[in-house]
Structure 1
């Protein structure tokens, strides 16, 4: 069902990504591809794309969603790896191989890190790669830019890329600038600098596809919704399939206020994400808020600079840095000379006063 809220795992529940899905499957199967990178703003279907491809190919894999629950910590990342690696312990050979690694403990079909260190995780992945030689395991990391809190993990990725042929790397991220930092784009000192990778970019649905998605979704649940309501929903939610799905889910349950609830709840969710971004930028907080208020209407760099005239001592470099950070974290996108807010519900959150 298109309007189910969980990450999709079946092609029939997954709308309008046939080309991207077939490309991803082809790259997973291609032995020459060492790393796949999936980019797209929040809620455009990256997680579902990865899940559907892996499910159809039945490829052994580690899948870690780095925004699974609450604030991410290094301890949580080790716990995620522990859970995913434990899935492989039914294989006696691999269990024996992993049990030789100091810093882990295996009890039955559960692996735990007794020493949460990069070298221990690196050795575990080395052993997994040796076991997978000739068959392949995919290490899929969703919202991979979050790995920046795990110092040294980019070196592990580079080591796997260069020497661990049994593991293929798949990274997805919505904070494009931070993901590019992890990949070492334009930074010769970064561990992953210069490694070729296959890139898949997910876009928001255009108007026609967004309308079609809602119509087909309502057909699946045998609900008739007026053309005017569908058009209104697309005008408010744009082509972000995550928000369209949320609205469709509520409407399918018979809620006559589904669109308003989707906008209200979604706006609060986006506001929370943006406030987390601001929480470590308290000195410049009001300036960032002024920038996004300006970008409710797509604006040039010069227009953003003018909007900050009420603040003392804002120079050109700072203006560029504010826009760069907002773009890095996926809140803003740039097309030609115009900057704009990437998620319509961030605009709504600003208008409703959820961001102050």
Structure 2
């Protein structure tokens, strides 16, 4: 169902991404592709695209989901790998090759890391490559930019890329600037610099496609809805499929004021995400908030600077730094000379005063 709030895993529940889905499937099956990177704004369907494609190609995969990791710690990463690899332990060959690695303990159908060293993950991936015996296995990592907080992990991926041909790397991220930094784009000193990868970009739905999505979803749910209501929802939620899905779910469940509730709850959700970003920037907190208030409407660098100068004496370097950080984390985007907030509910969060 289109309005299911869960990450989609079946093609029939996945809307309007046939081109991106076929591209990803092609790269997953291509023996010469070593790494694939899926990029897009938050809530544009990256996680669903990955899951559907992996299930369609029927290739074994290890899926590390870092979407809710927050500030990722090495301990968190070991827990994610432990939970995911435990699913393979019914395979005797898999169990045997991992049980021989020092620092790993297997009890029943549960794998645990007794030593928290990234070198163990590297050795483990090498052994999984041997277990695959000429087959492909996918190492898929959602919101992969979080791995920048785990020292040595980019080196592991570089090693896997170069030497473990049976393990293909699939990464996705919504904080595109940080993801590019993790991948070493433009930085010859970065471990992953120079490794070619196939890139798939997810965009917002067009207004026409957003309307089509809502109409199709309501047909599935057996709910009659007027064109005016659909148009109003699309005007408010733009083409962000995650927000359209949330609204469609509420409306199909009989929520009398579904659009207002979707906007309010969604705005509070993204406001919390932005506050998490601000928590590590207490000294510049008020300045970042002022930048976001200015960008409720698309603005140039000079307009942002003028707004900031009204509250503090800021340098050109500081203005550029604030804007660059916000772009890196995916809260704003730059097109031509203008910066803007791409998520309509983050705009609403700023207007409603949820970010203060």
Q: Which residue of 2 aligns with 1:63?
A: 63
Q: Which residue of 2 aligns with 1:325?
A: 325
Q: Which residue of 1 aligns with 2:347?
A: 347
Moved more, 201-210 or 59-68: 59-68
Superposition map of 1:243-258 within 5 A: 243-258=243-258
Q: Give the secondary structure class of the aligned counterpart of 2:181.
A: helix
Q: Which residue of 1 aligns with 2:303?
A: 303
Aligned-residue offset at 1:69 = 5.5
What CA deviation, in whole Å up to 9, does each residue of 1:235-288 have, x standing for no partner? 111100000000000000011111111001100000000000000001001100
Normalised TM-score (structure 2):
0.98
Q: Give the secondary structure class of the aligned counterpart of 1:8.
A: coil
Provide the alpha-carbon RMSD of the alignment. Answer: 1.0
Q: What is the number of equivalent residue pairs in this alignment?
A: 356
> Does residue 97 of structure 2 align to residue 97 of structure 1?
yes
Change (3 A) 1:138 1:269: same
CA contact (8 A) 2:72 2:150 kept: no
Gaps of 5+ in 1: none
> Does residue 270 of structure 2 align to residue 263 of structure 1?
no
Distance 1:133 1:238 in 2: 47
CA contact (8 A) 1:298 1:338 kept: yes
CA contact (8 A) 1:33 1:197 kept: yes
CA contact (8 A) 2:72 2:147 kept: no
Q: Give the secondary structure class of the aligned counterpart of 2:334.
A: strand
Q: Which residue of 1 aligns with 2:27?
A: 27
CA contact (8 A) 1:78 1:116 kept: yes
What CA deviation, in whole Å up to 9, does each residue of 1:102-142 have, x standing for no partner? 11101122110001111111111111112113111100000
Superposition map of 1:187-198 within 5 A: 187-198=187-198
CA contact (8 A) 1:64 1:80 kept: yes
Superposition map of 1:129-278 within 5 A: 129-278=129-278
> Does residue 124 of structure 2 align to residue 124 of structure 1?
yes
Distance 1:313 1:74 in 2: 39
Distance 1:68 1:352 in 2: 25
Aligned-residue offset at 1:59 = 1.0
Distance 1:87 1:124 in 2: 15
Gaps of 5+ in 2: none
Detail structure 1 runs of 4+ shifted over 4 Å in the superposition: none
CA contact (8 A) 1:341 1:347 kept: yes
CA contact (8 A) 1:44 1:241 kept: yes
Q: Which residue of 1 aligns with 2:88?
A: 88
What CA deviation, in whole Å up to 9, does each residue of 1:52-103 have, x standing for no partner? 0011111100111102456533212111101111122222122111111111
CA contact (8 A) 2:69 2:76 kept: no
> Does residue 4 of structure 2 align to residue 4 of structure 1?
yes
Normalised TM-score (structure 1):
0.98
Moved more, 304-313 or 287-296: 304-313
Distance 2:146 2:164 in 1: 23
Distance 1:24 1:133 in 2: 23
What CA deviation, in whole Å up to 9, does each residue of 1:277-318 have, x standing for no partner? 000001001100010111000011111111111233311111
What CA deviation, in whole Å up to 9, does each residue of 1:297-343 have, x standing for no partner? 00111111111112333111111111100000000011111110011
> Does residue 286 of structure 2 align to residue 286 of structure 1?
yes
Q: Give the secondary structure class of the aligned counterpart of 1:87.
A: helix
What CA deviation, in whole Å up to 9, does each residue of 1:184-233 have, x standing for no partner? 00000000001000000000001101011001100111111111111111
Change (3 A) 1:203 1:294: same
CA contact (8 A) 1:35 1:161 kept: yes
